[in-house]
Amino acid sequence: MKFVILDRDGVINRDSDDFVKSPDEWEAIPGSLEAMAKLTQAGYRVVIATNQSGIERGLFDMDTLNAIHNKMRDALQALGGRIDAIFYCPHTDAANCTCRKPKPGLFLAIAERFDVDLKAVYVVGDSLRDIEAPAALGARPVLVLTGKGQKTYAEHALPEGTLVFDDLAAVGEYLLNA
């Protein structure tokens, strides 16, 4: 099974230091949805793993998060793509939960639900926390330079074997030609 796990903010859509708090604030990064559609059409299962601490912070509620995700799904579906599942952590760092990246909870849950060996999975993120846990679990870390990616690349040592691309469109082309 071909499988890819994507972070949301900074990879698929524009990130905001003030959080994406409504469907109106959600804006796709150029080429990201097209890349996801091409991956879907090539037989990839596309899953999202995203930290959404705005819920615990009271910045938005579950209905709003679902509305944001519905907007993303609808835009992707219009291009012939599909998201197989969205896994999210609603907690802040202070909660010290196991599902907040860089901890492995989201990735372990994805592996269990889809019965997939993470060693064969590319995991795409724009921050160190997006790729640390999957790298430690043996997945294939990928950093994009959108969102926080340029800062991450400049300021941190990346996990061994991390691939770096300009954006999700470039990741999609790589995966489709691999």
pLDDT digits (tens, 9 = 90+) for 34-77: 999 999 999 999 999 999 999 999 999 999 999 999 999 999 99
pTM: predicted TM-score of the whole model, two decimal places: 0.97
Q: Catalytic: 24?
A: no
Q: What is the CATH classification number for the domain harbouring 86? A: 3.40.50.1000
Q: Which of 178, 137, 136, 177 is nearest to 159 (CA)?
A: 136
Instruction: For residue 2, give the DSSP letter.
Output: E
pLDDT in tens, 130-177: 999 999 999 999 999 999 999 999 999 999 999 999 999 999 999 999
Domain count, the chain: 1
Q: Would you list the DSSP string of 38-90?
A: HHHHTTEEEEEEEE-TTTTTTSS-HHHHHHHHHHHHHHHHTTT----EEEEE-
Q: Which residues span the domain enclosing 27? A: 2-177
Spot the catalytic one: 7, 15, 126, 167.
Answer: 7
Amino acid 1: pLDDT: 81
- Residue 157 corresponds to which tokens in the numbers above? 């040592």
**β partners of residue 124:** 6, 142
Spot the catalytic one: 9, 15, 126, 167.
Answer: 9
